[in-house]
Structure formats: C-alpha cells, structure tokens
Amino acid sequence: STPELQLDQKPPLHTLISSHDLEEVASRTISKKAWAFYSSAATDCITHRANCETFDRIWWRPRVLRNVQSACTKTRILGVESSVPFFCAPAAMARLVDGEGEKGIARACAKAGVLQCISTNASFPASEICASVPSHPFFFQLYVNKDRTQTDRLLKSLPSTIRAIFVTVDAPIAGKREADERVRADESLSTPMSGAKAKNDKKGGALGRIMGGYIDPGLCWEDMKWLRSITSLPIVVKGIMSVEDAVMCAEAGIDGIVISNHGGRNLDGAPPSLRTLLQLRLARPEIFRKMEVYLDGGIRRGTDVLKAVCLGATAVGIGRPILYALNYGEEGVSHFIEIIRDELEVAMKLVGITNLGQTSLECLDLGEVET
C-alpha cells in the first residue's frame, strides 16, 4: 500500500489514550518487517508475556487523607536530572518506522526532560542523534565488538553529552525470534545502520541475528575492568537476570544495573524482570545503596513504573512502546511520554504519595507474588 493509504488508516493521535492503543495501531499500519522486528520475542514468547503480566500480580496498599493536591515525578538518574523515573531504552533501527528515527525520539525526549539511551545499532551515529538536541544529556548502550579496537574507537568518538555507558550483557548471541525470522531480511532492507555493518546473510534470517554478528560472545567479568580503563563515564550493566550477578556487579564497582531480559527477545523462560527486582530487593536490600538499579521489560502503564520504583528501582526503561509511538513521529513519542507521565502522577496521588522519595515497599501488597 502507498504511504498515503497507510496514513489514512491511522486514527488521529489525540484519540489514542494508552500505550495499548498505540501498539494496536502500529500492528496494522507499520511495515510487516518493522512490526516483526519490533514486536518479536524469543520462541514461545513466555518471558515477554510474563514481563507484562507480573506487574498485575502486585497490589497497592493505598493510604488516604494525605493531601495529594500536587505530585512531583522528578528524579535523578546517575546524577542526571530527569522529569520522570523512566527513560527510553536502547532499541535498534528506529528508522524502520519513521525517517527521523532516533532523532525524532531525541527531540521528544528533550522537550519532556526525559533521557534516551542510544543503541550501538541505532539508525544514525550517536553524534548525529545528540546533535539534533544540543546540550541535552544522553546515555549510550554498548555492544562490545569482537575487535576491541573498534569498541575503543567507538567510545572515544562519543559526543560529550553522553553521560553513561550501558553495556549490554544478555545478548552474547541473538535469540530465536520467530516472527522476525519469518520476514526474511533481504536486500530490500533500505534502512542504513551505523555502528554495525548489516552483512547480508545468504540464508536470509532474522534482523536481530544479522545485526549482531560483530558482538563478542566471549565477553566476561574480566572485560569489565578493561571497559573501566577505557572510559571515565559511569558504567551500567544491562541485562542482569539473577540476584547473584547483581551482587557481582556491585562488588565489581559497577555504577548501576538494568535488570532486564532484553524484552524477552533472547532466552525464553528467563525470569520476568519484576520478579528478579523483587528477589533482589528482599534478599539484598543493601545493594540498592551501593549502585543504582533499573528495570526494563513490560512497562506499559504509569502504575508499572511506580511499582518498580516502590521496589527500589531508581528508574525504568521503556522499549517497544516508544517505537510504536514513533509511528506518529516525534509528536507520537511526546504524546506517549505525556500519557505515561500523567498515569504515573495519578497513581502516586491515589496511592497517597506526592514525591518519589516517599516510595517504599509499604506502598505495595506483595501477597500474590511468589519469589
């Protein structure tokens, strides 16, 4: 179908009032290839579903008569001011849905005071994305290259507005994403990538696998020392799925972790992120004082954001919903950010708190989640 026709099928943005609405519209109006790449998850999608569903098993313990006329959602992430305790998770190839790709996301984030983590596999070089909103701070997600000199060069080339490095460790190889595999990545893929060279796989195959060929599956704990030696920026390890590895990060002097299973895209059956966060909070509460802990996977509502923060997360990352919102360009991302910010503010007031410093386990009823 022609682009005009696709546009016609999109309802006006203001009629979409939740992340679910934006997802539904994206499912029928973005290209098959983009939908397959963005929405897919590993094999039976058990972890992907559980990421979302686990939030529904935690109840609130709302308190009343607490004067909730106004509520403040501001926080700091690694010392960087943020208007909300959520950020844009790194995701490859935003240009598959919108020509401005990550630059559109950047402009929407900058307007709203939200932080964006730029992927190594973004559709534009980080310098270009950062230049689209001069002086706005960013984070950079790193996939370590088998050729370490390339990684060294990449880190040295980053603009000064990058404030932290998120090194992804849950994807030494790409998972088997069947929706993505069914849409064969062929020569018609016209979206250029930076950072990674999209080698054309003779067998066709999934975008994730083609893109990830340069990632070093040999990466290990020793390499975190090497990474520390080549950058002075804070280092966050993204893709922690166990209490043990969270503790090892703290002991290694890492500045933060993202509890994440890559949105269920790699190992199906990996624990839902919220479960791991809860286990860490209950078993090792002191870890949260040693480093910042973030979570991503399954955040679709402001209430999800607040539940994770009550469990000790400084902030959460949001992946797919931002890409679905980008279906409406920069404006769509702005609209989405405002939806989640508003839902968060409403949830805070109804729980009986007016700033994020008041979040705690006391706000939650964990009766129905087993750890």
Active site residues: 262
φ, ψ (nearest 5 deg) of residue 330: -50, -40
Task: Answer yes or no whether residue 320 interacts with ligand FNR by CB under 6 A.
Answer: yes
Among 22, 45, 58, 89, binds ligand FNR (CB under 6 A): 89
Among 238, 275, 301, 307, binds ligand FNR (CB under 6 A): 238
CB of 352 to ligand FNR, least distance (A): 27
- Find out whether 158 and 126 touch, Cβ atoms under 8 Å: yes
Among 22, 50, 92, 313, binds ligand FNR (CB under 6 A): 92
The Cα–Cα gap between 175 and 266 comes to: 4
Task: Answer yes or no whether residue 351 interacts with ligand FNR by CB under 6 A.
Answer: no
Q: Which helix (H) or strand (E) holds 217?
A: none
What does the per-residue mask of binding to ligand FNR show for 142-181, with x meaning CB under 6 A? --------------------------x-------------
* No. of helices (H) and no. of strands (E), the chain: 16, 12
- Find out whether 18 and 150 touch, Cβ atoms under 8 Å: no
Among 19, 54, 73, 119, binds ligand FNR (CB under 6 A): 119
Distances (CA, A) of 157 to 116, 208, 215, 265: 18, 25, 19, 29
Task: Answer yes or no whether residue 102 interacts with ligand FNR by CB under 6 A.
Answer: no
Q: Which helix (H) or strand (E) holds 185?
A: none
Q: Pick the stretch among 10-18, 24-32, 86-94, 154-162 that binds ligand FNR (CB under 6 A).
A: 86-94
In DSSP terms, which residues pair with 59 in a beta bridge? 365
- Binding residue count for ligand FNR, defined by CB under 6 A: 24
Among 209, 262, 301, 307, binds ligand FNR (CB under 6 A): 262
Task: Answer yes or no whether residue 296 interacts with ligand FNR by CB under 6 A.
Answer: yes
Among 85, 319, 329, 332, binds ligand FNR (CB under 6 A): 319
Among 13, 25, 91, 311, binds ligand FNR (CB under 6 A): 91
Q: Give just the sign of the alpha carbon dihedral 337, 340, 342, 345.
A: negative
Which residue's CB is nearer to ligand FNR, number 180 or number 330?
180
Which residue's CB is nearer to ligand FNR, number 40 or number 73?
40
Which residue's CB is nearer to ligand FNR, number 119 or number 276?
119
Site for ligand FNR in 26-85 (CB under 6 A): 37-38, 51
The Cα–Cα gap between 301 and 343 comes to: 7
Residue that the structure tokens 């791991």 belong to: 276
Q: What is the DSSP string of 70-119?
A: --B--EEETTEEESSSEEE---S-GGGT-TTHHHHHHHHHHHHT--BEEP
Instruction: Give residues in contact with ligand FNR (CB under 6 A).
Output: 37-38, 51, 89-92, 119, 121, 141, 168, 238, 260, 262-263, 296-299, 317-320, 323
